[in-house]
Structure 1
Amino acid sequence: MFRFRRLPLSLALVSLLAAGCAALPERERAVAAERFDTAPLHALDRAVEDAVAARRLPGAVYRLEQAGTVYERAYGRFSDEADAAPVTPDTIFDAASLTKVLVTAPAVLMLAEEGRIDLDAPLVRYFPDCAGGGKEAITVRHLLTHVSGLPSGLPAKPDWRGDAAAHGLACAQQVTHAPGSYFRYSDINYILLGQLVQRVSGMPLQDFARRRIFGPLGMRDTGYLPLARVRAEAIAPTQKGGPEGLHGDLAPGQLLRGVVHDPTVRRMGGVAGSAGVFSTARDVARYARMLLNGGELDGVRVLGRDSVRLLTTVQTPPGIESLRGMGMDIDSPYAKRPRGGIYPLGSYGHTGFTGCILWIDPSSNSFYVFLSNRVYPDDKNNILPLYTELGTLSAQAVRATGP
């Protein structure tokens, strides 16, 4: 199913799309064809369809926007089973590490705007129990830009459960490099930042995200712990337990569906600053529109313009080659594939382990979202080459049109 359309939609067109009809009025198709180069989009469709046919991923949703024009396409099915339901634009996916930029980084920046978090304050000001092991020099800024020197993740053994246990483990880690001197992408950084948001705001992270980000932005299908809100059948499954179970907490053959794929966040109860959010491509697109509009969407301001700047432009300390904002990736090794070969340096975004991309280019006022469940059924699928095709073809589709 694909959809070309212009935003905002008329009520008649909304009804048409809600009915699942892909046949848009000729005028809408003409506007879209005028705005986007359709040849790269056809090539992009073929690339994703080939990946689905090769069973590198069961299904996905792709969405490209530029200045109110939208191309949206759903591919494949929820799983490789013959009777699996088809993916639609309404399918909810585990957004994995997109959580870091959809929730945690903006939440920290909101609290900084309010004077409740000092971005250059040491971590131990807020968590004195994290002292030791070289962590006294870590600042909030270091955590946001992944230059804290902390390891990439928490150990799985001995077995542990709960947010408090995760915090204790994070605070027990020692830095491997002086804070501010070395880039290492680290879930521990964002686990601590999520806990910082909870401590400073006085509310659970999932509540802060709903009240301060998802609700104001109208991201109605986005949040942690989705099974509390929607039917499992609306959510793309991720992984099955293998012969010996999965990470010790899934029985053989048991399916993850609506339960976070990330094993560390599962141990934490499904909510963390590093992962745990489930969303649709449409909702992620609303967030992207807000950033391109300087922190405001539909008359509702979520982030100040300076916070948007900190989130999306280079904030990495001098001397470090991997360039990051306070959340968004700009030019690290992880950025090169989703950026593709055409989007310029200065575009920004993030990826998620389950097969998710958000990439935004302010210079062309465009962005694309790709959500998939490439980890189904056994976490062995690799679609990184597809990421490069998506980035390059998306940029080609908008390249000639300008902002």
Structure 2
Amino acid sequence: MVLTKNLTNQFNEVKKHVKHTADSVACSGGACMVIQNDQVILEDYFGRQSLADEARKVQADTQFHVASVRKSYIGFAAAYAVYTGCISSIDDPVTRYLPMIAGELTAGVTIRHLLTHTHGLTKKDDRLIREFPAGTNWAYRAIGVEWLTQIIKATTGKTVAELLRTLIFEPLDFKETGWYGTKHKQLADVILQHPNDRSWYTSNSIDGDKMNMYISARELALFGYLHLNQGVINGRTIVPREILELAVSVHSPTLEDRNSPQNGFLWFVKEHPALKTEIGSQVPAGSYQILGYTNTSLLVVPEHNLVAVRMLNSFGSPPEYDYLEDIRSFGDTLIRCL
């Protein structure tokens, strides 16, 4: 699928913002793209795919490791499972689908809690720990996403990767999106802020359950565009509108702390201003965003019929760099260009 290009200087400040971020972290290259009113308005690639002297230049088919941006794809798979009745309700207890984890700590945890980072559980030294009662607070922890991928496979009979490939990647002829167990020439290296960073790892799994997803800027933007258009591309329905509405509607329980982020199916959704959100203050309500630790981000702004992507190949950031403030500023810069 290819959109019409009408490249202008309107979003030059966004391009400058992305390059300023690139200069602030450890990376070798990046990309950014803006789609508005069904046209590509900004498309920019810079740098190289690694730090090697003869490294391949970043270009349209370069695929970046997207880290937690993968969760928007897992969120889609979860929404599909709810839409098709494989999951009967997001208020079902998690142990209904994963009876092997039943116990005192998991009692009362629902699928809603997993989707909105409000389950209150984490792992330390392979031991499950409760940080707060389910549904009372917000914390970004990996265990919830791990269980979601298991539930999706158990209920649909397919892995996250299989569902996405059948429902989206093949219908839209995506060739630059997927989970990879082996390296190929289009994959940009991940540049670590600290060479021995223990939080960085690779995986051979291609099931969509691990943090090894790589996507090109143009296909990530088109994934956002599919959501913006509620599943319809060029007059053709790719997926039912109801699945995408589920994915990007707010499902967070009412929390005492109004400054906690609001979430859809793992997406960050702006319902009201919140100090802990990753979405900029000038970005209008109804917008939704997903951000990865490699500084990759996808922002969708329905009010302005707009999708924006930034991609870098960094992992981690220096102490003086404010990760959340920078991504908020990215969105606010986008809005100021309108």
TM exceeding 0.5: yes
Out of 322, 330, 333, the residue aligned to residue 269 of structure 2 is: 330
Checking the alignment, whether the CA contact within 8 Å between 1:149 and 1:184 is kept in structure 2 is yes
In structure 2, how many angstroms separate the alpha carbons of the residues matched to 1:268 and 1:139? 30
Aligned residue for 1:20? none
Asked if 1:215 is matched to 2:170, the reply is yes
Displacement after TM superposition at 1:225 (Å)? 1.3
Structure number with bigger Rg: 1
In structure 2, how many angstroms separate the alpha carbons of the residues matched to 1:133 and 1:274? 27
How do residues 2-401 of structure 1 correspond to structure 2 at under 5 angstroms? 8-9=3-4, 32-33=7-8, 38=9, 41-52=11-22, 56-70=26-40, 71-102=42-73, 104-118=74-88, 119-151=90-122, 154-155=123-124, 157=125, 173-225=128-180, 227=182, 232-239=184-191, 247=198, 262-263=200-201, 266=202, 269=205, 271-273=207-209, 275-320=211-256, 321=258, 322=260, 323-331=262-270, 335-336=277-278, 339-375=279-315, 379-381=316-318, 382=321, 384=323, 386-397=326-337, 399=338
Checking the alignment, whether the CA contact within 8 Å between 1:48 and 1:75 is kept in structure 2 is no
Displacement after TM superposition at 1:99 (Å)? 0.8
Displacement after TM superposition at 1:54 (Å)? 5.9
In structure 2, how many angstroms separate the alpha carbons of the residues matched to 1:220 and 1:60? 19
Q: 1:179 to 1:55 in 2, by over 3 A?
A: closer
In structure 2, how many angstroms separate the alpha carbons of the residues matched to 1:240 and 1:292? 33
SS in 2 for 1:319: coil
In structure 1, how many angstroms separate the alpha carbons of the residues matched to 2:237 and 2:91? 25
User: Where does the alignment leave 5 or more consecutive residues of structure 2 unmatched?
Assistant: none
More strand by share: 2
In structure 2, how many angstroms separate the alpha carbons of the residues matched to 1:365 and 1:137? 39
In structure 1, how many angstroms separate the alpha carbons of the residues matched to 2:130 and 2:25? 40
SS in 2 for 1:93: strand
Q: Give the partner amino acid of 2:266.
A: G
More helix by share: 1
Q: 1:239 to 1:196 in 2, by over 3 A?
A: same
In structure 2, how many angstroms separate the alpha carbons of the residues matched to 1:177 and 1:268? 33
SS in 1 for 2:310: strand
In structure 1, how many angstroms separate the alpha carbons of the residues matched to 2:155 and 2:254? 29
Q: Which moved more, 1:82-91 or 1:266-275?
A: 266-275
In structure 2, how many angstroms separate the alpha carbons of the residues matched to 1:219 and 1:123? 32
Checking the alignment, whether the CA contact within 8 Å between 1:146 and 1:189 is kept in structure 2 is yes
Q: 1:328 to 1:395 in 2, by over 3 A?
A: same
SS in 2 for 1:219: coil
Let me know the Cα RMSD of the aligned residues: 2.8
SS in 1 for 2:32: strand
Displacement after TM superposition at 1:392 (Å)? 2.1
Checking the alignment, whether the CA contact within 8 Å between 2:178 and 2:215 is kept in structure 1 is yes
Displacement after TM superposition at 1:233 (Å)? 2.1
Displacement after TM superposition at 1:290 (Å)? 1.1
Q: 1:334 to 1:74 in 2, by over 3 A?
A: farther
Deviations 1:68-120 (A, max 9, x none): 22111002222344433221121101111111102x11111111111111222
TM-score scaled to structure 1, two decimals? 0.73
Q: Give the partner amino acid of 2:27.
A: L
Q: 1:240 to 1:311 in 2, by over 3 A?
A: closer
Displacement after TM superposition at 1:383 (Å)? 6.8
SS in 2 for 1:44: helix
Displacement after TM superposition at 1:274 (Å)? 6.0
Q: 1:380 to 1:51 in 2, by over 3 A?
A: closer
Checking the alignment, whether the CA contact within 8 Å between 1:224 and 1:278 is kept in structure 2 is yes
In structure 2, how many angstroms separate the alpha carbons of the residues matched to 1:86 and 1:386? 25
Displacement after TM superposition at 1:299 (Å)? 4.8
Displacement after TM superposition at 1:148 (Å)? 1.0
Q: 1:185 to 1:241 in 2, by over 3 A?
A: closer
State the number of aligned residues. Answer: 326
Displacement after TM superposition at 1:345 (Å)? 2.4
In structure 1, how many angstroms separate the alpha carbons of the residues matched to 2:265 and 2:193? 35
Displacement after TM superposition at 1:149 (Å)? 1.2
Checking the alignment, whether the CA contact within 8 Å between 1:209 and 1:223 is kept in structure 2 is no
Deviations 1:323-382 (A, max 9, x none): 11122102465643xx3342212211110011110011110010101111022xxx4444
Checking the alignment, whether the CA contact within 8 Å between 1:64 and 1:394 is kept in structure 2 is no
SS in 1 for 2:223: helix
Checking the alignment, whether the CA contact within 8 Å between 2:181 and 2:212 is kept in structure 1 is no
Checking the alignment, whether the CA contact within 8 Å between 1:49 and 1:76 is kept in structure 2 is no
Displacement after TM superposition at 1:240 (Å)? 6.1
In structure 2, how many angstroms separate the alpha carbons of the residues matched to 1:75 and 1:100? 26
User: Where does the alignment leave 5 or more consecutive residues of structure 1 unmatched?
Assistant: 1-6, 10-27, 158-168, 248-260
In structure 2, how many angstroms separate the alpha carbons of the residues matched to 1:328 and 1:69? 24
Checking the alignment, whether the CA contact within 8 Å between 2:18 and 2:310 is kept in structure 1 is no
Q: Give the partner amino acid of 1:130.
A: I
Q: Give the partner amino acid of 2:75.
A: A
SS in 1 for 2:130: coil
> RCO greater where, 1 or 2, for CA within 8 Å and sep 6 or more?
2
Q: 1:77 to 1:55 in 2, by over 3 A?
A: farther
